[in-house]
Amino acid sequence: MTSTAHTKVSFKAQMLQAREDAIIQTASRLLADKGFEAMTVDEVAASVGIAKASLYKHFSSKEELACAAMVQAMQKAQAFLADLNQAEDPGSTQCVSLNKLMTTTRWVLQLKLAGEMPTLPSQNSSLRASLMATSTASLPPVVKSTRAAWPVSAAIRHFREEFLAGTHTPADQLFDPVAATVFAGAAAR
């Protein structure tokens, strides 16, 4: 008979994790709504319903909190892209690429509209230092390199290039508003 060893997590540890998750989710929403500069730690704490001092038990700074929100967003993106790449789609490579392109773009737009896609400034040295100081064990591989692109952006570029490399364009699919937006943006570049 084989027994499985289960690590029992204390109630207190579960509550601390639930609070930390709520803090990160709230910070993600506020980062999406207001951006990094306008979001305050006081606002995050008040929105979660905790004292500012309690928030600082989890995150030592606004930068560390934003970093945690971005890591969570990247982990979601990586999981989405892994699932998308595992999905088998019969059809030509061009159609598969277009479908992946539209699906990825639609997913990003849905997250953005739902306020679940944090936005961070591209030029902020303290935030960059916090991202770089985060334990590499907790970071997704895409964040470990300072030159790594946002995984969804890289996937969209890849799917778009695969589709454009094809010999023909399925006209009925180009009328999809998501595809039209993607192709309009690509043409502008």
Q: pLDDT tens for residues 11-39?
A: 999 999 999 999 999 999 999 888 898 99
Cα atoms in the 13 Å half-sphere on the side-chain side of 156 = 21
pTM of full prediction above 0.85:
no
Sign, CA dihedral 120-121-125-126, equals negative
Distance CA 108, CA 20 (A): 24
Q: What is the pLDDT of residue 145?
A: 43
More confident residue, 90 or 63: 63
Number of continuous H segments (helices) and E segments (strands) in the chain: 10, 0
Q: Return the closest-CA partner of residue 77 out of 116, 45, 26.
A: 116
Q: Of 103-107, 119-123, 182-186, which range is least confident?
A: 182-186
Q: Return the closest-CA partner of residue 173 out of 66, 81, 98, 73.
A: 98
Q: Where are the alpha helices (DSSP H) in 59-121?
A: 62-86, 93-113
Spell out where the chain has E strands.
none
> DSSP code of 175?
T
